[in-house]
Amino acid sequence: MSKVLYSPKVETYTAPTSYCPGCGHGQLHKIIGDAIDELKIREKIIFVDSVGCSVFAYKYFDCDHIQVPHGRAPAAATGIKRLMPENVVLTYQGDGDLAAIGTAEIIHAANRGENISVFFVNNAIYGMTGGQMAPTTLIGQKTTTSHTGRDEQVVGYPIKVCELLNTLEAPIYLERVAMFDALHIRQTKEAIKKSFRIQLKNKGFSLVEILSNCPTNWKMTPEQSMDYVKNEMTQEFKLGTIRDKEFCQK
């Protein structure tokens, strides 16, 4: 029989979630919860929930939450952080929320250098509404509104959010990570902790883009979907640090 030698006390992430089997949200929730616990900042967190599959995030984290209109999380987070600078404010947004309906809000929050942490979950699809084409859907990728595959001649190309924000002066830290294997999960957690540390040091705006999967709407098994992230998505969305303006211990 095996014996549990050590188990970290989980404070923030209160599973189980109601996400689909194999969905990246559950995994990312745990990573963020662990990062919050390790930095001991649960009591300071104000979590801004956006619209999409993660709209129920307030059920899964034992910290203060506000659920805001579609795409507006960076604006709401601005209002919160400017009035409560001692709190740690994060937004958790999907690709439809952040890169389509909320494009203006993310660009301007980044441009003002808002001292917030933005976690941008890119799974290349509108999951909650049943799998429609997103601004980050890959060329040729089939969705319910691009059923023969995304045609760039008609609907344009996938938007690369980190690269777009990298044209601005203010952002401190922009990183793209993925969660398809243990190494990348560890890197994701490090990036999230780094984003929090930047905020705790009042350095300014940071965004971590997490490439994630959607087995249900991609019509794949969880394993196939992980391979898709690894082999297809990372071709379009290159992993790595896009901006690191301030040396900050990982």
Residue numbers at the binding site for another protein (CB under 8 A)? 42-46, 48-49, 55-56, 58, 61-69, 72, 75-80, 82-84, 87, 104-105, 107-108, 112
Check: CB of residue 81 under 8 Å from CB of residue 64: no
Our CB check for another protein shows the closer of 62 and 236 to be 62
Question: Among all chains, which residue has been given the structure tokens 């595959």?
Answer: 149
Our CB check for another protein shows the closer of 47 and 218 to be 47
Identity of the amino acid at 226:
M
Our CB check for another protein shows the closer of 114 and 175 to be 114
Determine the length of the chain.
Answer: 250
Beta carbon of residue 85, minimum distance to another protein (angstroms, whole number): 9
Paired strand residues for 48: 66, 91
- Quick one: residue 200, left, alpha or beta (phi over 0 = left, psi -120 to 50 = alpha)? alpha
Beta carbon of residue 14, minimum distance to another protein (angstroms, whole number): 10
Our CB check for another protein shows the closer of 102 and 158 to be 102
Check: CB of residue 23 under 8 Å from CB of residue 215: yes
Beta carbon of residue 222, minimum distance to another protein (angstroms, whole number): 25
Element (H, E) at 174: strand 173-178
Beta carbon of residue 10, minimum distance to another protein (angstroms, whole number): 15
